[in-house]
Amino acid sequence: MYSLKEGEMFVKTSRKVIKHYLETKEIIFPEEIKKYEEKRGVFTTIKNFRTKDLRGCIGFPFPIYPLWKALVLSSISAATEDPRFEPMKIEELNECAIEINILSEPEIIKVENPEDYPKHIEIGKHGIIVQYGIYSGLLLPEVAVENNWDEYTFLSYTCLKAGLPPDSWIKLPIKIYRFTSQIFQEIEPEGEVIEIKLK
C-alpha cells in the first residue's frame, strides 16, 4: 500500500511527464520516482474535468516494469495512444483530471464450473482481466461501481472489452484474472489529490 503523499507524487509526476511530452515529444523519467523499483501494474486514466468524459486510459495489467517506468509510460500512452481518441493537445491538459491506479498482481481464478466465476469477484474490490487466444480485455474496479453492475454484468462487459461475445466467460475456455487497485485522483486539474475508496 502506498501513502497519500506517495499517491500525490504519482499523480503530479503523471501530469508533469504528459505536459513535457506534449510540448517536446521527449519522454522524461523524473528522479523522484526512480526509487519505486518494485514491479507493479499501473493504469493512467484521463477524464475531462467538466463533462467527466473519458479522454484516455491505458496501462500495464501485469507487473512487467518497475513502478516508476510503468507510471511514466502509461501516462504518456493514455494521453497520446488510446486508439479510441485523437492524441491529446497541450491546451486540453488543463481541462483534464488524472487518475492513477496501482494494481496488485493479477490472480487467475480457477473454477470447475464457469458459472462459479461470479462467486470469486467482489464488486468494489476487484478488477477483471479476460484472456482468450489473441483477445484480451481489462476493466478496473471502479468501472463496475460507477455503472452499478453486478458480477455477471461485470464479467460480460469485460468480455466485450476483449472483443468477445458477452457470454464468453461461460461458453469459452477463457482465462479470467482478478486484481485489486489503489486509486489516486486529482479532484480538479492540478488540484488536490485524494485516494478513492470504492467500499
Measured CA distances, 32 to 86, 105, 180, 193 (Å): 30, 24, 25, 17
Looking at residue 128, its pLDDT comes to: 97
The pLDDT assigned to 198 comes to 87
CATH 3.30.1490.150 residue ranges of the chain are 107-179
CATH 3.30.1490.150 is right for the domain spanning 107-179 = yes
| DSSP-based three-state secondary structure for 124 | coil
pLDDT tens, residue by residue, 104-130: 999 999 999 999 999 999 999 999 999
Radius of gyration for the chain, computed over Cα atoms and rounded to the nearest angstrom: 17
What per-residue string of b and e applies to 62-81 under the rule 16 or more CB within 10 Å gives b? Answer: bbebbbbbbbbbbbbbbbbe
CATH no. for 4-104+181-196: 3.30.700.20
Q: What is the mean pLDDT of residues 150-176?
A: 96
- 124 phi and psi angles, rounded to 5 deg: 90, -10
**What is the pairing mode between strands 135-139 and 175-179?**
unpaired
Give CATH 3.30.700.20 domain extents, the chain. 4-104+181-196
Residue 15 dihedral angles phi and psi, to the nearest 5°: -65, -40
pLDDT score at 199: 75
Q: What pLDDT sits at residue 174?
A: 95
Read off the pLDDT of residues 8-48 as tens digits, 9 standing for 90 and up. 999 999 999 999 999 999 999 999 999 999 999 999 999 99
